[in-house]
Amino acid sequence: MATTIVGTTIALSADLPVKAPAYAPPVAARYNWTGSYIGGHIGYGWGSDPIDLTPFTVFPAGTVPLSLADNPRGVLGGVQYGTNWQFNRFVLGWDSDFSFSNIKASQTIFTAPGGIATGTSAEQKLDWLSTTRGRLGYLLADNLLLFGTGGLASGRTSQHSRYSLYPCKQGQVQR
């Protein structure tokens, strides 16, 4: 006697445990130099050039000093801004900055050779400075840019000098 048994079963997968997906670290975004920026700066500046004076020939030698107000120094601060555009491994851009300055020097000297009393005063000051530059660079790595830059610099300086003559005899005090 031959017997045949046929059966069907339904299996539902909702009851099966789910395997967690394999961990994949997040992909870092590719570094991009394209964009604009703005920032501020503050610093200290100094120099070594004096105001050179031309002595008057009508005064005895030593009456008017040859130079005054050397070693200007002071604080400066301002804003800088610019834009970059990246094309594959090349970066084009421009930068500008503007700084107000308090870099200055002043000096007054009184002399009285040959009985002629004089006072000589001088002041030099850097009021402001600004630069604008273009930039062309090549990316050696995503975050390492080798670049060259060139542009224009401008500023405002002021120099003032004054000679005061006090005609009095040596030993006499003028009031």
Q: What is the pLDDT of residues 26-38, one digit of tens each?
A: 887 788 999 999 9
User: What band does 81 get if pLDDT is binned at 50, 70 and 90?
Assistant: very high
Say how far residue 89 (Cα) sits from the centre of its chain.
Answer: 27
Strands 144-167 and 73-87: unpaired
pTM of the model: 0.67
Could you give the CA distance from residue 19 to residue 127 in angstroms, rounded to a whole number?
71
Tokens of 38: 């703005």
Span 142-164, pLDDT tens digits = 989 999 999 999 999 999 888 78
| Confidence at residue 5, expressed as pLDDT on a 0 to 100 scale | 56
User: What band does 109 get if pLDDT is binned at 50, 70 and 90?
Assistant: confident
Average pLDDT in the 34-52 region? Answer: 93
User: Which 3 state secondary structure label does DSSP give 5?
Assistant: coil
Contact 164, 118 (CB under 8 A): yes
Could you give the CA distance from residue 132 to residue 99 in angstroms, rounded to a whole number?
12
User: What band does 49 get if pLDDT is binned at 50, 70 and 90?
Assistant: confident
Q: What is the mean pLDDT of the chain?
A: 83
What percent of the chain has pLDDT above 90? 48
Contact 83, 38 (CB under 8 A): no
Does the pLDDT value for residue 101 go beyond 80?
Answer: yes
| Confidence at residue 22, expressed as pLDDT on a 0 to 100 scale | 78
